[in-house]
Structure 1
């Protein structure tokens, strides 16, 4: 147990740095602390008493140990990332000359295809026709999100000044503070106009387009909750969350247009490779049509 003391002292210094100087979130601090506690124990078991003794072969051994313990690729990548950040800090402090975890391959997590809702179910979800102000607001939010393929943060960040309803456009600020102007469609404009006639009744505290009952900008958590509730009320077969509407927008646009570059621009993706995941969804659709329609595909089925 004594071998852990000097190892843990260095980790404690790093955690203070993360919390006080870098002011990272409590969750990030907690993740670092948890991962480094496990790694410190494992390093101690290798009879290493000081981080200066750590070599690349030891890091590979730690990765192999994690795999044997059944860690999923994403969890193992998180653990190695915590170790790499800690060792980078030791290099910056002059304790280490080089980071022994640099160059150690991080396992790739399998890339899951985004889930989307088919067009019929989107129509089912959006067939909300109520005079209740909150229902009008919620439909307006869903129409805008599906109509423009917005991220959730972009949706809640819309202010009144970001709208040009006559042109049917909205300005949003995406990742990296990049702004883009997007078409939102006639239906979205119609429901925004309905919502604007009711919005004043909530005594708005600011310029936010979508506000809560208290008149403040609606929160991300509230949007998630309301979308999920509408999915159940409207009888949609899968769980409805905001990102699913963004995925559905991208998939339906790509299926209809085949224009990957245009979809990339609309989604605000910095790299075309990020948008290309939707070509896999489109291919899945084409493959299912082929399996059902092509005589040679049918023949193999019993």
Structure 2
């Protein structure tokens, strides 16, 4: 294949290649064209021809895009387009190596987990949303256990009413403990608070009244048909409860886990204890809650301190939401 040396002609030939030979969709070709025009603009500013672009040029342009506010995901898509272009040039013998090959986009900052305010979490737990006492007792116990012990939804639905050789996890009301099977098949024991204990006791009192087979299932949380609740069912029930309770946004099970962790850290300041209770293998995973804690402190400062209005605000940790 005869390939032109002029930059504009190279770009046009490559776009024709992906349109005709690779049969890419028209919208994809259009996006490739935008990426390559960006490459041409960068190369023109650096006074370098496309075939003479080197790895250091690409890294500099990535840094410039990042400092200009381009998201990591957006940069990754641009690099993908550039990488394909230089792979094609390499096959044509116009470049000795691909300057984009080892360049990666900056990692996007992880958004902070969403946590409820303490008052909102308590309101959600206390709010009666169902006329059916059986469902209300069950769902209230679910909320109290998720928020009071920081369980993952998979750990919650895996609980049995008692220990057995086949149990993934079980509840021990006398010891006020939940024994759960977490990620990586790691077992841990977490305390169950007094409010959650009372909610569980109320649920267990009515649990056998749900149907003829309710007393035959070992699952702590079950449906009317005496089968173990699924994680999806818990998500749906919790979303319904939060909407009826009037929370600012629909609540999901992991939001209650986040709330448990951030509220406990705000009160105790003991990061290691929170790590153990959550079952995190690495302390770095738990450290995200120190950022949540700082946000809480910053809001309290802004609301109360007479000099707060003159304080410059730091950029948000969460970054742009993709």
CA distance in 2, matches of 1:293, 1:251: 21
Taking structure 1 as reference, are residues 78 and 131 closer, same or farther at Cα in structure 2, changes over 3 Å only? farther
CA distance in 2, matches of 1:251, 1:281: 7
Is the 2:239–2:251 Cα contact (8 Å) retained in structure 1? yes
Show the 5 A alignment for 1:282-293.
282-293=293-304
CA distance in 2, matches of 1:72, 1:262: 35
Taking structure 1 as reference, are residues 251 and 136 closer, same or farther at Cα in structure 2, changes over 3 Å only? same
CA distance in 2, matches of 1:78, 1:217: 43
CA distance in 2, matches of 1:256, 1:114: 18
Normalised by the size of structure 2, how large is the TM-score?
Answer: 0.63
Taking structure 1 as reference, are residues 102 and 248 closer, same or farther at Cα in structure 2, changes over 3 Å only? farther
Taking structure 1 as reference, are residues 2 and 118 closer, same or farther at Cα in structure 2, changes over 3 Å only? closer
CA distance in 2, matches of 1:298, 1:208: 53
Is the 1:145–1:245 Cα contact (8 Å) retained in structure 2? yes
- Residue among 185, 188, 203 paired with 2:196: 188
**What secondary structure, in the 3-state scheme, does the structure 1 residue paired with 2:126 have?**
coil
Partner of 2:144: 143
Partner of 1:134: 135
**What secondary structure, in the 3-state scheme, does the structure 1 residue paired with 2:159 have?**
coil
Name stretches of at least 5 consecutive residues in structure 2 with no aligned partner: 1-15, 33-54, 81-99, 164-169, 313-322
1:105, CA displacement in angstroms?
2.7
1:292, CA displacement in angstroms?
2.5
1:230 aligns with 2:238: no
1:115, CA displacement in angstroms?
0.9
Larger-Rg structure? 2
1:196, CA displacement in angstroms?
1.2
1:180, CA displacement in angstroms?
0.3
Is the 1:211–1:217 Cα contact (8 Å) retained in structure 2? yes
CA distance in 2, matches of 1:192, 1:212: 16
CA distance in 2, matches of 1:76, 1:156: 40
1:207 aligns with 2:218: yes
CA distance in 1, matches of 2:226, 2:78: 42
Deviations 1:130-187 (A, max 9, x none): 6610111000011000010011111111112211101110001111011000001111
Partner of 2:177: 169
Pick the structure with more helix per residue: 1
Normalised by the size of structure 1, how large is the TM-score?
Answer: 0.66
CA distance in 2, matches of 1:185, 1:154: 17
Deviations 1:201-229 (A, max 9, x none): 33246321111121111011111111011
Is the 1:128–1:135 Cα contact (8 Å) retained in structure 2? no
Show the 5 A alignment for 1:1-302.
73=72, 104-105=103-104, 107-129=106-128, 132-160=133-161, 161=163, 162-200=170-208, 201-202=210-211, 203-204=213-214, 206-298=217-309
**What secondary structure, in the 3-state scheme, does the structure 1 residue paired with 2:295 have?**
helix
CA distance in 1, matches of 2:187, 2:74: 33
1:239, CA displacement in angstroms?
1.4
Is the 2:265–2:293 Cα contact (8 Å) retained in structure 1? yes
Taking structure 1 as reference, are residues 112 and 197 closer, same or farther at Cα in structure 2, changes over 3 Å only? same
CA distance in 1, matches of 2:145, 2:79: 40
1:287, CA displacement in angstroms?
1.2
**What secondary structure, in the 3-state scheme, does the structure 2 residue paired with 1:111 have?**
coil
1:261, CA displacement in angstroms?
0.4
Is the 2:145–2:192 Cα contact (8 Å) retained in structure 1? yes
